């Protein structure tokens, strides 16, 4: 199956929410990856901004793709078997179809997998049936973490050998055969057209796949929506060509 989703990560309070809505109308395959951590700032929007995004999605009436990327304190809570995400986000949780755990190559203990499962089960109960897909990073360190979670939740895996540093690998890893796979690492408007065929050659026919971009779609540490638009146009043309 082909590329079917492009995640753009790192919108923050400096990003106009309505601009994201308009880009989603033009490119329905885009997913906005929203980072949430211990503090707010560059790449980490405030809770108020996330509420604004959630309200804009509901008001648009569109099936806008959103993923919540857990870092810092929110990630540590999940790996300890609990989470207070609902206390901060309330009903805004419901607009996120996927949740990504950003370990960035930090090795986790053997009981972490069960604790993650317990944490998401608690979140699900607090959110009255919210049932997201959980994205685990296939970073060469914690490949096994998704095993407990997949007993209850849909799971998928993101390859990023640079551990969030935005570096293109010498060779893109082959897709997993057991879970849906995505790829990240240094992709941007200057190299996407060249790298997409390489990624596609590593994907398997059994599942759709996605790519994720963050570092290379920024200018002066601000999400650059012109660069984002360029990437989405390249990806859209690639999707049409490979159908």
SS3 category, 35? strand
Give percent of the chain with pLDDT exceeding 90: 74
Mean pLDDT of 197-204: 92
Average pLDDT, the chain: 92
Distance between CA atoms of residues 3 and 10, nearest Å = 21
Positive or negative: CA dihedral 40, 108, 134, 185? positive
Distance between CA atoms of residues 213 and 153, nearest Å = 25
Instruction: Give the tens place of pLDDT for each residue, 151-160.
Output: 999 999 999 8
- Name the residue among 29, 27, 47 with its Cα closest to residue 37: 47
Which residue is listed with tokens 């790829």? Answer: 183
Distance between CA atoms of residues 225 and 228, nearest Å = 5
Mean pLDDT of 183-212: 93
**Banded pLDDT at 163 (limits 50, 70, 90):** low
Residue 242: is its pLDDT beyond 80? no
**Banded pLDDT at 186 (limits 50, 70, 90):** very high
> Do residues 53 and 96 make contact, with C-beta atoms less than 8 angstroms apart?
no
Mean pLDDT of 134-143: 88
Instruction: Give the tens place of pLDDT for each residue, 36-53.
Output: 998 888 999 999 999 999
- Domains assigned to the chain: 3-242 (3.20.20.70)
Residue 196: is its pLDDT beyond 90? yes
> Do residues 4 and 29 make contact, with C-beta atoms less than 8 angstroms apart?
yes
Mean pLDDT of 192-217: 92
Instruction: Please report the pLDDT score of residue 134 as a whole number.
Output: 96
For the chain, give percent helix, strand, coil, nearest 5: 40, 20, 40
CA distances from 135 to 28, 101, 111, 197, 237 (A): 20, 6, 18, 23, 26
Write out the two tokens for 177.
């055969």
Sequence-distant (6+) residues with CB within 8 A of 177 are 204, 206
Distance between CA atoms of residues 55 and 59, nearest Å = 6
SS3 category, 185? coil
Residue 1: is its pLDDT beyond 70? no
**Banded pLDDT at 178 (limits 50, 70, 90):** confident
Distance in Å from the first CA to the final CA of the chain: 9
């Amino acid at each position: 199956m082909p590329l079917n989703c492009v995640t753009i990560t790192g919108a923050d309070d400096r990003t106009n929410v309505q601009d994201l809505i308009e880009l989603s109308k033009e490119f329905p395959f885009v997913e906005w990856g929203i980072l949430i951590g211990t503090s707010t700032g560059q790449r980490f929007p405030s809770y108020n901004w996330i509420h604004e995004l959630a309200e804009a999605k509901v008001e648009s009436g569109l099936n806008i793709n959103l993923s919540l990327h857990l870092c810092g304190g929110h990630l540590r809570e999940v790996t300890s078997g609990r989470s207070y995400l609902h206390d901060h986000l309330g009903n805004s949780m419901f607009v996120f179809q996927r949740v990504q755990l950003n370990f960035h190559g930090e090795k986790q203990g053997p009981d972490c997998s069960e604790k993650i499962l317990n944490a998401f089960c608690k979140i699900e109960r607090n959110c009255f049936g919210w049932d997201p897909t959980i994205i685990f990073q296939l970073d060469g360190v914690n490949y096994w973490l998704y095993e407990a979670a997949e007993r209850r939740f849909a799971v998928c895996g993101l390859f990023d050998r640079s551990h969030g540093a935005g570096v293109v690998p010498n060779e893109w890893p082959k897709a997993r055969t057991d879970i849906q796979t995505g790829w990240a690492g240094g992709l941007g408007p200057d190299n996407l057209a060249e790298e997409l065929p390489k990624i596609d050659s590593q994907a398997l026919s059994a599942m759709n796949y996605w790519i994720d971009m963050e570092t290379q779609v920024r200018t002066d540490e601000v999400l650059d929506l012109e660069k984002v638009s360029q990437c989405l146009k390249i990806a859209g043309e690639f999707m049409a060509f490979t159908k």
